[in-house]
Structure 1
Amino acid sequence: MSTHTPVSLHRSTNRSDPHEIVRQLNEALGSTLVAALAGARNRKQPYDWARPDGPEPRDGAWNRLQFAHQIWVSLEAEEGRDVARRWFIGGNPLLGEATPVAAIREDRHAEVRRAAQAFVDGDVDE
């Protein structure tokens, strides 16, 4: 089990620079998926958010990005980068076969958190 607790992940993400969080998500998931989960209208918007001198995401998008980052850090630590990325984009039975990216965009954070934990715990068939 990871040394990252939900509380420690929440604290570290909240203290992080928004531009750095988006940069990390862009690197991990790609700007198209980051735009999709944030609810951005433009798939290039995450590139702007990631620039140190760029604009910051609006509140709704920022909440989704923070949450996605918390889940990403947890899954990557437990399962590795490739598995974590596949988890974000694969249909998930605990989310009604929606992808975690779509569920995050729909602000279904509690469901996504439970699905991620079930995945890490091995409580879900793939």
Structure 2
Amino acid sequence: MPDQNLIDPHALSRTKAHNRSVQLSTEDITSELVRVLGRQLLAFIVGKDPKSLSRWAAGTHSPKDREEKILRNAYQVFALLDPVESDHTIRAWFMGMNPQLDDESPAEALSEERFRDVATAARSFVNGG
């Protein structure tokens, strides 16, 4: 059994965030991201109109593969921030200029499918950097 003092709590958080992002349905992911980020911001991130989000959340339509990929990656970033930040702070983080993204917002970078860059910026934010 590994020594509890040697387990990296941040690695556990990353694993939990990943697991949540792949285990939840697109309906649940869409609903949660709309709740925290708002309909307009999430629509911008996935490149769809807000009505599409309502249909995805209701389960009457499904996102295309590209849109689902963006949703799941955005949710993974949200799940990484969620244990340590308030919904208000998470939404502001997604919207604001980020120095690790060359002053682009995480929302813009996600819409451009720069998932690794956004994940790195989120881990840095969680770690206080």
Q: Same fold (TM over 0.5)?
A: yes
Q: C-alpha distance in 1, partners of 2:37/2:53?
A: 11
Query: Residue 78 of structure 1: SS of its match in structure 2?
Result: coil
Q: Does 1:121 align with 2:102?
A: no
Q: Which runs of 4+ in 1 moved over 3 A?
A: 1-4
Match of residue 98 from structure 1? 104
Q: TM-score, normalised by structure 2?
A: 0.86
Give the AA of the match of 1:89.
M
Change (3 A) 1:113 1:3: closer
Q: Does 1:64 align with 2:35?
A: no
Match of residue 13 from structure 1? 21
1:10-89 alignment runs, 5 A limit: 10-40=18-48, 42-52=49-59, 54-89=60-95
Say what the alpha-carbon RMSD is for the aligned residues.
1.6
Q: C-alpha distance in 1, partners of 2:12/2:55?
A: 29
**Does the CA contact (< 8 Å) of 1:22 and 1:65 recur in 2?**
yes
Q: C-alpha distance in 2, partners of 1:3/1:85?
A: 23
Larger radius of gyration: 2
Deviations 1:1-40 (A, max 9, x none): 6685323322222121111110111111111111111121
Among all aligned residue pairs of Structure 1 and Structure 2, give the percentage whose two residues are the same amino acid: 29
> Which blocks of at least 5 consecutive residues in structure 2 are unaligned?
1-8
> Which blocks of at least 5 consecutive residues in structure 1 are unaligned?
none
Q: C-alpha distance in 2, partners of 1:66/1:86?
A: 19
Query: Residue 56 of structure 1: SS of its match in structure 2?
Result: coil
